[in-house]
Amino acid sequence: MVHSPDRAVPITYGEPITRGSGSTMRSRSTKGLVTAAALVALAAIGGNAARGSDEIAPRGAGASPVVTVTSTPAPSVTTDGDAARRAAEATADQAAADQAAADQAAADQTAAAKKAADAKAAATRAAAATVAADQARAAAAAKATASAATWAVTKVVDGDTIWVSRSGISRKIRFIGIDTPETGQCGFTEARNALRGIIGGQRVTLTAGARDDVDRYGRLLRYVDVNGVDAGLRLVKQGYAVARYDSRDGYGSHTREAAYVRADAASPKAACADPGAGTSSGSTGGSGFTGSWPLAGDTYPCPQSRPVKGNENSMIAHEPGDRYYTVTKPEQCFATMADAEAAGFRPAKV
């Protein structure tokens, strides 16, 4: 059989191919197809292998066989040691987190407590400062009120008369309801010194209470109190003053008269030297000075028993024989210069 080179010749599977004219090309074409089919099959098998499963199954005569390939991942192997290690790590991490949280909470609590303590301390200091300021203001106000209501004693004239001043104003005060010895009389020095001891250097409160506001000499009639103590009543109780110038002798009653009269009745009488002691004929007086008394030209004599003159304006004491003795007007008389110095006077230099 003659075949046309351009005509397709069927070939049965297994039949040998007879080479003839035109058979060479057919053989090459067939080999090319087989090769291409083989490459396609290998590519398919490779693709299925990559996807984990390829199916290649025989289909019968003339069909390409199908092959199934299954890829199973290798199982991971976990040992008991690894599990324990991971559990320990997790427990440690949780413990560290819990400790950090506890530390932070403690730090926050400490900071809050310190802040509260600081605030409380500041409030306490502020309250204390406020109290101190209030107390200082109250004390200053009380002092100012006391100064405005009280008087400074500037001079003690005798046991019942003083000079006081306040805000540039000076007044002479006569105690209400008492009487003490006058200059040169028995007990003058004792009464005057006793009053000095009660009110000297202090501020006094003056209170009206007599029928008249002033006496015939223009002196204010007042009770004199120092730190709540009635100075006049104190002199009566000590025996340096007597209750007088009240309703019993025509001067009218005063508000403290009853207390003064009772104190006078119960008090002892202070001892004093007799101002008439000594003589004018040259006998020796209690002071040791002799000769006629008073001295010639002495306008303001002291008793011979207390010849030392104390001048309050200068606080200088003069004794007979001193240059200015006869012209000195004494507020106090002393038996000796030592007595005068004890009362705060200093001896005259000439």
* 233-282 pLDDT, tens digit each: 999 999 999 999 999 989 999 999 999 999 999 887 655 544 333 333 33
Report the distance separating Cα 228 and Cα 220, nearest Å: 20
| DSSP 8-state class, residue 247 | G
Identify which of 258, 262, 264 has the alpha carbon closest to the alpha carbon of residue 235: 264
Domain stop point among 245, 266, 287: 266
Per the confidence metrics, is the pTM higher than 0.95? no
State the amino acid at position 34 in one-letter form.
V
What residues have CB less than 8 Å from 33, skipping those under 6 apart?
Answer: none
Given this model, what pLDDT does residue 297 score?
A: 87
Report the distance separating Cα 63 and Cα 85, nearest Å: 58
Per-residue pLDDT tens over the stretch 17-43: 555 554 455 555 555 565 666 676 666
User: Torsion-angle region of residue 230: left (phi > 0), alpha (psi -120 to 50) or beta?
Assistant: beta
Given this model, what pLDDT does residue 276 score?
A: 39
Identify which of 179, 227, 170 has the alpha carbon closest to the alpha carbon of residue 204: 227
Mean pLDDT over each residue of the chain, to the nearest integer: 79
- Tell whether 69 is covered by a domain: no
- Tell whether 313 is covered by a domain: yes
Q: Domain range spanning residue 286?
A: 273-350
- Tell whether 231 is covered by a domain: yes
Q: Are 69 and 49 in contact (CB under 8 A)?
A: yes
pLDDT band at 331 (very low <50, low <70, confident <90, very high): confident
Domain stop point among 219, 243, 266: 266
Domain stop point among 232, 266, 300: 266
Given this model, what pLDDT does residue 64 score?
A: 56
Is there a single domain that holds both residue 252 and residue 322? Answer: no
pLDDT band at 300 (very low <50, low <70, confident <90, very high): confident
State how many domains the chain has. Answer: 2
Is there a single domain that holds both residue 226 and residue 311? Answer: no
